[in-house]
Amino acid sequence: MDRAFASKFAKSVFLTVCGLVILMGIGSRMFTHVDLALYGYMVGTVVFVCGFFYRFIAWGERPPTKIILKKGIKLLFRKSTPQTATEHLLTYRFIWNRGWYRWTQHVLLGWGCVLSAFVTFPLVFGWMYFTMSENGTYTVVGFGINIMKIKADGMLGFLFYNALNITAFMVIGGVCMALYRRIKNMQARAEQTLIYDFLPLYMLLFVSVTGLALTFCNIFLHGYGHPVVTLIHQWSVIVTLIYIPFGKLAHIPFRPMSVLARNYRQHYAEQATKSCKVCGNGFVSVEQSNDVINVLKVNDIEFKTEEGFHLAELCLPCRRKYRMSRFTGIPTHQIRVKEANQNAKG
């Protein structure tokens, strides 16, 4: 089977696309409920899946990533995994430590994008659709099974019809907060670039605004200009989907991997702590320190010091002091004085 494909990437993408086609056939009752108006979104989503696999495999083949994935998956069923997943994927508690503003910004952006995907992808692939009865109720159908009935003019129906409008307002709010911070915050202004930092925000903003424009055309203009706005919105969504795996927005689908990394750090930190060779303070687990040394060896990188220890066996303050000593000739890493900002927050 492997000889039929040029690489593991090609095999994985082929099997994934075949799986999507099979699920589309099952969900849409042998393609009888595929909305041809969403055909462009479907193509864009398939390209997104291929691009995501390319990015993921390229990332997963790196020696450090292999260690995190291999050991993190083994620790997936730790008792702390549900709490870690909740904090990293649902509540974004780790961002709350940076301030309420950045937390609100990430919640609006993250949940706005995720909820939009949960609504759009099932509709695009025909996994979910609606049928209307004569008595003014809609039947929600998922994978060919009647899930529930909702009133056309009820609150639940309103939420179903306007789900993408709600998520669009969430994304717009998050993008505006992010743009304001990048313009006003001096550190952000020094680190950001137009293509890598601003372009993804502009693309999300354009998708959201054009999506709301569709609703505006239907309600206030009685459909006038709808075909043109539809094409503009579809183009913006397709371009954004194709761009996501290769830009900064890739961290959205990659975010679940942080649970594996957190499990890896927590588990081995409970086993044994590595003490700094200079100051004696514990800073990482023994396992993580050894893994860093082994990964550097794989890449033919050696950081042995004249004293006989590895740089990975030094805590960050002592490591910085050691680099200073290489320039000054003074053994600054052996001076047992804490840095002024060693325990600074932020």
Residue 219, domain member (yes or no): yes
d(CA 161, CA 113): 17
- Residue 295: give the domain boundaries: 272-334
- Does residue 41 sit within a domain? yes
Asked if 140 and 188 sit in the same domain, the reply is yes
Do 192 and 49 have their domain in common? Answer: yes
Given a cut of 50, is residue 345 above it in pLDDT? no
Q: Where are the alpha helices (DSSP H) in 220-256?
A: 226-243, 251-254
Q: Is residue 159 a part of any domain in this protein?
A: yes
> Does residue 154 lie within any of the structural domains?
yes
269-to-179, 251, 280, 284, 290 alpha-carbon distances in Å: 38, 26, 16, 7, 13
Residues 282 and 135 in one domain: no
Q: How many domains does the chain have?
A: 2
pLDDT tens-digit map of 160-185: 888 999 999 999 999 999 999 888 88
Say if 93 falls within a structural domain.
Answer: no
- The bridge status of strand 282-285 relative to strand 273-275 is antiparallel
For 267-305, the pLDDT digits (tens) are: 998 888 888 888 888 888 888 888 888 888 877 777 777
Give per-residue pLDDT as tens, 104-129: 999 999 999 999 999 988 888 888 88
Q: Are residues 7 and 144 in the same domain?
A: yes
Residue-by-residue DSSP string for 93-113: HHHHTT-HHHHHHHHHHHHHH
Three-state DSSP at 31 gives coil
Average pLDDT value for the chain: 85
Last-in-domain residue among 258, 281, 301: 258
pTM value is 0.81
